[in-house]
Amino acid sequence: MEDTQADNAGDSTVSDNGPSTKPELDLNQFLPYRLNSLADRISQALAQLYEERYQLNIAQWRVLAWLSHCDELTAKKVCAYTNMDKARVSRAIQALEDRGLISRTPSPRDQRLHDLHLTPAGQALLAELIPAAQAWEAELVATLTAGEYRDLLNVMRKLERQLERIGDKG
C-alpha cells in the first residue's frame, strides 16, 4: 500500500479516496464543438472571397444568398433563415439598400413589414458571386469522393431532423 501511495504521490487524478471523478471533455471528440469550429473556419475562409472581391460581409452575403433563393423575403424571415439577430440583419439590409443591391417595399400583406427584392445591380452581382462561391465550395470538397459528399449531406440532414425532434435543447 505504501508503494502505491508513493507511486501516485505526483498523480493529481488520484486522491486518498481513489481516482478523481472530475468530469473531462475532450473537445476534439465533441461533435458540437467540432462542427461549430469547422463551420466558423469555412465561413471565415469563404468570407475572404466576398469581402475582398465584392465588399460584402457575412451578413450581407447571407441576405443576398437568401434573396437569390427566394423571390420575396422580409427581414423577419431572413432572421429566421440565417439565425442572425434582428440588428445584424437590419444593418446588412440597410447597407445593401444603400449600395443599390436590394430594394424594400411595404408588404401588401402587412404594412409593418417590408418585402426585400434584388435590384438589377444585385442580380448582376450574384450572377458573378454565386459561381465564384460554388467554385470555392467545389475546391473545399474536392478531397471527398462523390459518395462521401452525399453521405456528409445525408448525415447533416439526419442530425438536423434529430435536433428538431429533441426540440433544440441546449
pLDDT digits (tens, 9 = 90+) for 10-21: 444 455 555 668
CA distance 167 to 170: 9
CA distance 111 to 65: 25
CA distance 81 to 72: 13
pLDDT digits (tens, 9 = 90+) for 36-78: 999 999 999 999 989 999 999 999 999 999 999 887 799 999 9
Q: Residue 56: name the closest of 126, 114, 141, 135 by CA.
A: 126
Asked if 105 and 117 count as a contact pair (C-beta separation under 8 A), the reply is yes
Confidence of residue 139 (pLDDT cuts 50, 70, 90): very high
CATH node for 28-165: 1.10.10.10
Q: Cell 486522491 maps to which residue?
A: 15
Extents of the domains making up the chain: 28-165
CA distance 102 to 81: 18
The x, y and z cell numbers of residue 169, run together, are 435543447
